[in-house]
Amino acid sequence: MIELHGLTKLYDDARVVDDVSLTVDQGEFCVLIGPSGCGKSTTLKMINRLVPLTSGRILLHGEDVAALPAEQLRRRIGYAIQSIGLFPHWTVAQNIAVVPTLLKWPKARIADRVEELLALLRLDADGFRDKYPHELSGGQAQRVGVARALAADPDVMLMDEPFGALDPITREVLQAELARVHHETGKTIVFVTHDMDEALKLATRIAVMNEGRLVQYDRPIELLFSPADDFVRDFLGKADLGLKLLTRRWVHQYVAPAPWADRRASMGSLRDIVATHGHVWLVDGDGRPEGLFGARLWRAEGDPLGELSRIHPDWLATPEMTMKEALSRMVWRRVLALPVVDADGRLSGEVTMAGVMGRQPEGAAA
């Protein structure tokens, strides 16, 4: 899909990018990461020729990008940046439609595409179509920027620290949205960040750069387990490698059968289940968890066997949730297990602290 061969960029005598070679396959989410000044943004900009390369080759679907007219190349590549760059006197719909308009799409097709992308980025069309950039929050504007980059259905999305200026809550929400968009569209994405947590959360492959050179190019799990050298190990952050690993583990890999009973079950039957399993999840008539019966999952002193604890929504886990988030919920709520629910909120299993610590997850090499 995208091939970099000996990519080099010189500014006077300084090698900003030094002989970088890597391949990004179709549908990959490749993250370029490294300290400030390592050459990651320059590498990204050379792909769509915003920065001319000094030597080397870049191939897109086997074609040398240097041989393609710049305008044609950039229409095949979506581009989103930290500052967004929305045109201030154009509406949201007009901003999203920039490239399709340049490509002379029919007006009806453009309107349909704007509606489709607003829905994809979870922006209500009626509420946002006619707004201007100054009426948007930072997170909303960034969503519009991503929609604009996707507007002409490009082969590739290039994203240069698109969430770097956002507050942590908005950033986390948009990271999840981008992961969902990538999953739903299958787009090939090359994404620049200096945040390793962000890289581990989003990437299918991570390219670690330092002083213009590519130090390691691997899948996140391989990067965590086998860092190429001390620089990569330090950049990963040795103090919390275990927690970072859990950002690449998902609840569905650890879910186990959950002992359960109807909430109207007799006290005797509940005690029998607790005697065997240590606890029982109580479910309503639709199979949705409502309570926890049994004390062995609780650290709180004075919680006797037989006391019923109501399930708070924050205690629920879903199959696609990361184990880092599930573990955080256990610690925050002082519980040693979470009920796992399906898309309809029905109990499908449980994930436990003991399972995290004592069992190799299914699909561990993912």
Instruction: Please name the residue that has the structure tokens 């299914």.
Output: 362
Lowest mean pLDDT among 52-61, 149-158, 353-362: 353-362
Span 31-35, average pLDDT: 95
Distance, CA of 205 to CA of 220 (rounded, Å): 6
Who contacts 78 (Cβ-Cβ below 8 Å, separation ≥6)? Answer: 148, 149, 150, 151, 152, 154, 156, 157, 158, 187
* Per-residue tokens: 325: 């988030």
> Looking at per-residue confidence, does 239 or 218 come out higher?
218
Q: Please name the residues in contact with 45: beta carbons below 8 A apart, sequence gap of 6 or more.
A: 51, 160
pLDDT at residue 347 tops 60: yes
pTM score, whole prediction: 0.77
pLDDT interval class at 257 (50, 70, 90): very high
- Kindly indicate the confidence band of residue 359, based on its pLDDT and cuts at 50, 70 and 90: low
Collapsed DSSP state (helix, strand, coil) of residue 239:
helix
Specify the pLDDT at position 29: 96
Q: pLDDT at position 305, please?
A: 40
- CB contact burial 90-120 (16+ within 10 A = b; e otherwise): ebbbbbbbebbeeeebeeeebbebbeebbeb
Sheet with 205-210: strands ordered across: 77-81, 156-160, 188-193, 29-33, 205-210, 213-218
In the prediction, which pLDDT does 197 show?
87
Q: What is the mean pLDDT of residues 249-254?
A: 91
| Residue 109 in this model has a pLDDT that exceeds 80 | yes
**b/e burial code for range 29-62 (CB count within 10 A of at least 16 → b):** bbbbbbeeebbbbbbbbbbbbbbebeebebebee
Instruction: Judge whether 205 and 29 are in contact, CB under 8 Å.
Output: yes
Q: Residue 235: CB partners within 8 Å, gap ≥ 6?
A: 33, 34, 35, 196, 208
**Amino acid code (one letter) for 171:** R
Is the pLDDT at 303 greater than 60, yes or no? no
Residue predicted with more confidence, 337 or 205: 205
Say what the pLDDT of residue 302 is. 44
Q: How far is the C-alpha of 222 from the C-alpha of 227, rounded, in Å?
A: 7
Please compute the mean of the pLDDT values over residues 26-44 and round it to a whole number.
94
DSSP SS3 for 163? coil
**Which pLDDT value is given to residue 70?**
82
Distance, in Å, from the CA atom of 264 to the CA atom of 168, rounded to the nearest integer, reads: 43
Who contacts 288 (Cβ-Cβ below 8 Å, separation ≥6)? 341, 345, 346, 347
Q: Helix (H, G, I), strand (E, B), or coil: what is residue 162?
A: coil
Q: What are phi and psi of 321, to 5 degrees?
A: -70, 145
Res. 299 pLDDT band, cuts 50 70 90: very low
Question: Looking at residues 295-300, what average pLDDT do you find?
Answer: 47
* Region at 363 (left for phi over 0; alpha for psi -120 to 50; beta for the rest): left
Give the CB-side neighbour count of residue 154, counting CA atoms within 13 A. 26
Q: Which residue has the higher pLDDT, 81 or 229?
A: 229
Is the pLDDT at 301 greater than 50? The verdict is: no
pLDDT for 356 equals 82
pLDDT at 112 (0 to 100) = 94
* Contact (Cβ atoms closer than 8 angstroms) between residue 351 and residue 325: no
**% of the chain residues with pLDDT over 90:** 43
